[in-house]
């Protein structure tokens, strides 16, 4: 055994104790180790065993055995059984990796640099076997979750783990029989009045999750009583080559590149929610899902509130980029709001403009949607022109009045 490995063996007990102390100090819930001698002893035993096994296997680049992986998985089961959260588990894994790398560095310095060959040997072993160990730990952790949690809760954990780039998502996806994708459409349903008790929807939501096979979870509740439901819709499967993936900017701007069933999914979930919703969607590969969630959230806040019966559809950046820009320019928003107030005196003028632009300014289709005679539609459009000085069918009208309608329908001007 080389000098680096000998030094790691000499320090194994001290390093294992330091790891346990670090967990106790920095990870919520691990403080119980100070009150439970048996739990502390088992944690210390595992930390010491893992270091000794690393020293045994890494010089010859030996793989962790099935017995080794089973032992690591049992520790994952123990942690889950003690009620450890996913966030705490992820933090523990990061701390463990950081401590192991620190120990290698300290052992190298103690040997005044040590042999480069030994360091390379250790690092060559550490990456793939560390990944296998983490996988086994996650398997054990998820085994307990499957026994203790309802299906909907497991799906919510999968959604959260994907949004946090947590490697446990692989095991959670397997547990709920879902496939992971190379690209996702992060879809946010915004509700101005979130259900006071989400549980009454659980059966319906769970049924839809199984039909559409999408990870779903409730978002945080805002202080004003509004809330959101978040769905991750697979966009491209693992069979699609990298060359088939359009740039993110293109995906966000072209709704036709979204999954074929996205509109149907939106309708189904909106009917289950039973209240007006505004839906925003943004696309991203797994590492960029947090940014996509932020974009989808912003889009949903700019999108109009509608019921499922009103052809509710997911809005993309291309649909509301003007309104998103207006939010950050208060004097423009104030001007648009003043235009909206002028229309309040007319008969259903904002509703008429909404239908007019949703039907691409087609008179017949708009009149049919409003259930009015085309001459009534013409009268209302003339009234808009009289009140605002803007022709709804002109370029200026489309740019200005469509933004007025979107801002009013979004509920932003309460």
- Cβ atoms 273, 191 nearer than 8 A: yes
- The pLDDT of residue 272: 87
CA 229/CA 194 separation, integer angstroms = 9
- Cβ atoms 305, 312 nearer than 8 A: no
As beta bridge partners, residue 278 has 190
CA 286/CA 163 separation, integer angstroms = 8
DSSP codes of every residue in 108-163: HHHTTT--HHHHHHHHHHHHHHHHHHHHHHHHHHHHHHHHHS-HHHHHHHHHHHHH
Domain 3-148 has CATH 1.10.490: yes
How many CB atoms neighbour CB 150 within 10 A?
A: 10
Nearest to residue 385, comparing CAs of 348, 349, 331?
349
- Cβ atoms 59, 1 nearer than 8 A: yes
Model-level pTM?
0.75
Per the document, the length of the chain is: 414
- Per-10-residue mean pLDDT of the chain, 414 residues long, equals 80 93 85 76 91 91 94 89 83 89 86 72 87 90 87 91 90 90 92 70 83 90 75 70 50 50 86 88 91 94 82 85 87 91 87 92 93 93 93 93 91 80
The one-character DSSP state at 304 is P
- The pLDDT of residue 258: 52
CATH of 181-317, one of 3.40.50, 3.30.70, 1.10.10, 1.25.40: 3.30.70
Nearest to residue 316, comparing CAs of 400, 223, 254?
254
As beta bridge partners, residue 216 has 231
- State in Å, rounded, how far the first CA of the chain is from the last one: 73
How do the domains of the chain map onto residue ranges? 3-148, 181-317, 329-409
- For the chain, the C-alpha Rg in angstroms (whole number) is 28
The one-character DSSP state at 29 is T
Q: For residue 26, what are the CA distances in angstroms to 21, 39, 105, 194, 305?
A: 9, 17, 22, 35, 44
Widest pairwise Cα distance in the chain: 93
As beta bridge partners, residue 233 has 185
The one-character DSSP state at 361 is T
> Which tokens is 128 given?
């793939």
> Which tokens is 161 given?
């783990």
- The pLDDT of residue 32: 66
Nearest to residue 72, comparing CAs of 39, 46, 43?
46
- The pLDDT of residue 248: 54
- Cβ atoms 189, 269 nearer than 8 A: yes
User: Which sign does the torsion angle of CA 256, 397, 324, 274 carry?
Assistant: negative
- The pLDDT of residue 365: 94
Q: Which CATH superfamily is domain 329-409 in?
A: PucR C-terminal helix-turn-helix domain (1.10.10.2840)
The one-character DSSP state at 220 is P
């Amino acid at each position: 055994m080389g000098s680096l490995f000998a030094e790691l063996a000499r320090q194994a007990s001290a390093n294992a104790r330091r790891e346990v102390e670090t967990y106790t100090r920095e990870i919520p819930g691990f403080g119980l180790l100070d009150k439970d001698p048996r739990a502390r002893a088992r944690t210390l035993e595992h930390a010491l065993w893992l270091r000794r096994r690393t020293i045994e296997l890494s010089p010859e680049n030996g793989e962790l055995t099935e017995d080794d992986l089973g032992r690591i998985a049992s520790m994952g089961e123990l942690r889950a059984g003690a009620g450890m959260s996913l966030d705490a588990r992820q933090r523990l894994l990061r701390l463990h990796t950081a401590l192991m790398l620190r120990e290698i560095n300290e052992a190298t310095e103690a040997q005044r640099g040590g042999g480069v060959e030994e360091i390379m040997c250790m690092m060559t072993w550490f990456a793939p076997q560390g990944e296998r160990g983490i996988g086994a730990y996650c398997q054990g952790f998820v085994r307990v979750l499957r026994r203790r949690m309802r299906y909907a809760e497991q799906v919510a954990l999968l959604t959260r783990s994907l949004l946090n780039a947590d490697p446990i998502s692989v095991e959670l996806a397997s547990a709920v029989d879902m496939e992971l994708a190379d690209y996702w459409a992060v879809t946010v349903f915004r509700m101005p009045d979130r259900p006071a008790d989400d549980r009454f929807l659980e059966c319906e939501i769970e049924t839809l999750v199984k039909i559409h096979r999408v990870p779903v979870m409730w978002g945080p509740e805002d202080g004003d009583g509004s809330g959101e439901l978040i769905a991750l819709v697979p966009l491209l499967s693992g069979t699609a080559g990298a060359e088939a993936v359009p740039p993110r900017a293109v995906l966000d701007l072209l709704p036709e590149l979204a999954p074929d069933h996205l509109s149907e999914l939106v309708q189904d979930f909106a009917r289950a929610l039973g209240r007006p919703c505004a839906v925003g969607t943004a696309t991203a590969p797994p590492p960029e899902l947090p940014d996509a969630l932020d974009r989808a959230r912003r889009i949903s806040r700019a999108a109009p509130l509608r019921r499922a019966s009103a052809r509710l559809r997911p809005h993309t950046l291309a649909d509301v980029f003007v309104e998103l820009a207006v939010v950050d320019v208060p004097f423009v928003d104030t001007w648009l709001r003043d235009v909206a107030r002028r229309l309040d005196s007319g008969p259903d003028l904002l509703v008429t403009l909404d239908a007019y632009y949703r039907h691409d300014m087609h008179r017949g289709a708009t009149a049919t949607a409003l259930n009015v005679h085309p001459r009534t539609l013409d009268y209302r459009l003339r009234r808009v022109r009289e009140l605002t000085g803007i022709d709804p069918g002109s370029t200026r009208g489309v740019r200005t009045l469509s933004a007025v309608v979107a801002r009013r329908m979004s509920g932003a001007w309460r």
